[in-house]
Structure 1
């Protein structure tokens, strides 16, 4: 990786690794150091790879290429659990297909988050046939089923989504808004978090919202004062109407970091085409026949992606960034917000983020030398590393920032 500035000291370790070979220090030898995984979660939706993971993609060759591009940037996946699509017919959930997809990511070392367990949008229509007590029972049962059934493959969940607007949502009638209006926001949050916590006590549970106003702060404060345990705060950043800029982003981070909880930027979008008009309040209201990516927009997007990621990685409260779609072909609202064009070719933003994640913030295979005592020194982002020398290798993890002293024995390379 390139030289680390002080602003990233919380992300890096200064490693002093003492290497031994057959019990003796490996003195004065060339070694190759490579980072194999970031601790920081560089995430993206994995919706488009569900078919690939199940062997059911319509175009297997293109799906395999998409998977390769995805893994070139990301190490953390979000999979879709929208109730209305996951269980459109009560008692017939899409468990097998999503579980296979989750295991596909997990087997490759990518942690997975499920999104969302409770949300008023894209919820199950059959809830409207139930009274509020029955809706509550169905919601709790649904959470218990998913969180326990997917444990081990998915151990992180957006438990409830967009609670600020939930009881006053008026676009259409739905069971979750009915229930939240009846019992209130904080009892609703308590109900769903209690169910998720009981189903998998070791899971990481998020409260997620797009509302960056004081209303979300009031909700968070009420939830915490009520004694409800929130593991992570989720902040959405769909920038269809223009990049926020560093000042706004940093102000939001400062406001929400005061709760002392880790922050995930859960849903990020930055466009490479025409911006959505500023007068539109609900992004879903912007419906166009065609929304192309443009050369000028792609150059702008690459710059804004870099600025946004640098801002977030520099803030110590941020532990994850999830981009909301890699490919334009599957983007929400049909917007040109992906890193890859609809024809499958990478945009400049792909190359820009690839350089940041894998080169500037990562350690590609780098040749170094041990000293007379078998020690090799390097500075790297927190995460997993492999050191190779003399046909042997050893894996190690840098888990805490600052100076790290590690003793490692090279073994026969089975990789």
Structure 2
């Protein structure tokens, strides 16, 4: 049943935030597992929210001054809240609690390092604005400004702490990759790709691999694997199963679960066997946690199919690395009780819950794979979430990620035109300012540095390499194969990641 908690979310004028913001509010446990959102907006703007988890965190999208629209968390200094503590008439002040959350996070990340003026300035601003708000000096505005600076300070200190760790222990073995889907011979695309990456994702979608029943087409895959081998790049096969309607041929939709699971077993065996010793990393199962479930399998069938794919990979190539790959790692869709094709189950399964169940059932896989298309979250929330995925005790690959590079060549990357219940709609937001190539590069540098400082993360794969991309304007190259700014940022950054600082020197023109 849970308990009813009253929450206020106030804007810069001290009134209630807009209804579309209030409707985003949800609770989770301390491991980011969401409650199903059951809320009512009262006439005074207070949100009455049913909370099941105890202790719990709160999450809501907020328009932060000088930052953007982003999910913000409140977690009571890492301890969470007891629902009983907000019973009766007491009202939970979301913005104030979030300010204290991020100030606490900043203090933790600052331990043992000397903060930069950027980080210290944001931290001091957060405390001063918060103090002014308590003194009723333009209280609504100062509280939101305090929250904005607190988030920026905590992010900066998270990044600076990672820099210290990375300097002490570089990651020359880290796999840096991207998908190779648009490779077309020796051109600028190929030159830029091999200068940047040592890891490439090869497409094995069913509509390409098995366009007709009873026939497997390996020609394109052979071409890409040959090119990777010739250039010393490690290949990864993606995916051996993916239940998205756009990645499966029409003939598969006439089949039963029993027929499709038999097809999966046979295809995985033949595919992995064909490339044994050549492709050593496989996304054995892609997005099995209800999100992409075009065949309307039950949750039990999705788990059973995952077991079939992972076991068959192991049988076909015992030395291969087997990955279960998930999307939407914060699982906000669970709170909204919907998936890619609309509401289907009483309670959708989150990626976190799926991994726990897979491990409990003894499914044989090697790596936790996480997709991280801009999660509309700050780096501190991402860092905390990575702690959850690390707790499963397996290596972690960031298998797909991307953030927008802003408008490009007459196009507008407009969040208002995106379905709010789509994968991109759930994950779009602002980060520090409007998206452009500079901001995109900053995000990449911060995230790659934070991820590389974590020993459990073994691979980082961007998605895509060339326009048009899955996330609009996210690729490294425009369609004419001219690079975006982040190409140069990552090319410089990879030397720091590998501990080769001598390659970061500046040389003049010849």
| TM > 0.5 fold call | yes
Runs of 4 or more consecutive aligned structure 1 residues displaced over 6 Å after TM superposition: none
Q: Residues 256 and 10 from structure 1, CA distance in 2 versus in 1: closer, same or farther, beyond 3 angstroms?
A: farther
Distance 2:387 2:325 in 1: 17
TM-score, length of structure 1 as denominator length: 0.69
Q: Where do 1:32-43 residues align within 5 Å?
A: 38-43=172-177
Distance 2:451 2:425 in 1: 29
Matched with 1:363 is 500
CA contact (8 A) 1:210 1:237 kept: yes
Per residue, is there more strand in 1 or in 2? Answer: 1
Q: Where do 1:391-410 residues align within 5 Å?
A: none
Matched with 2:487 is 350
More relative contact order, 1 or 2 (CA 8 Å, 6+ apart): 1
Q: Does 1:236 find its partner at 2:371?
A: yes
Matched with 1:261 is 394
Distance 1:234 1:247 in 2: 20
Give the C-alpha shift of residue 9 in structure 1: 6.0
Matched with 2:298 is 181
CA contact (8 A) 1:340 1:346 kept: yes
In structure 1, runs of 5+ residues without a counterpart are: 14-37, 53-62, 287-294, 367-415
In structure 2, runs of 5+ residues without a counterpart are: 1-161, 332-349, 407-412, 427-433, 504-510
Q: Residues 234 and 304 from structure 1, CA distance in 2 versus in 1: closer, same or farther, beyond 3 angstroms?
A: same
Q: Does 1:318 find its partner at 2:462?
A: no
Q: Does 1:47 find its partner at 2:181?
A: yes
Q: Residues 279 and 325 from structure 1, CA distance in 2 versus in 1: closer, same or farther, beyond 3 angstroms?
A: closer
CA contact (8 A) 1:10 1:316 kept: no
Q: Where do 1:183-332 residues align within 5 Å?
A: 183-213=300-330, 215-239=350-374, 242=376, 244-273=377-406, 274=413, 276-277=415-416, 280-283=420-423, 297-328=436-467, 330-332=468-470
String of CA shifts for 1:309-366, please: whole Å, max 9, x gaps.
Answer: 11111112111100011122x3125x11112222322222111111111356353877
TM-score, length of structure 2 as denominator length: 0.56
Any idea what SS the aligned residue of 1:114 has? strand
Distance 2:420 2:478 in 1: 25
Give the C-alpha shift of residue 10 in structure 1: 7.1
Matched with 1:386 is none
Matched with 2:242 is 119
Q: Where do 1:2-81 residues align within 5 Å?
A: 6-8=164-166, 11-12=169-170, 38-49=172-183, 51-52=184-185, 63-81=186-204
Distance 1:321 1:285 in 2: 23
Distance 1:161 1:12 in 2: 30
Distance 1:322 1:360 in 2: 15
Distance 1:364 1:345 in 2: 27
Distance 1:256 1:107 in 2: 34
Q: Where do 1:333-344 residues align within 5 Å?
A: 335-344=472-481
Q: Residues 75 and 219 from structure 1, CA distance in 2 versus in 1: closer, same or farther, beyond 3 angstroms?
A: same
CA contact (8 A) 1:249 1:311 kept: no
CA contact (8 A) 1:208 1:235 kept: yes
The number of aligned residues is 309
String of CA shifts for 1:256-278, please: whole Å, max 9, x gaps.
Answer: 10111111111011111135347
Give the C-alpha shift of residue 304 in structure 1: 1.1
Matched with 2:25 is none
Matched with 2:36 is none
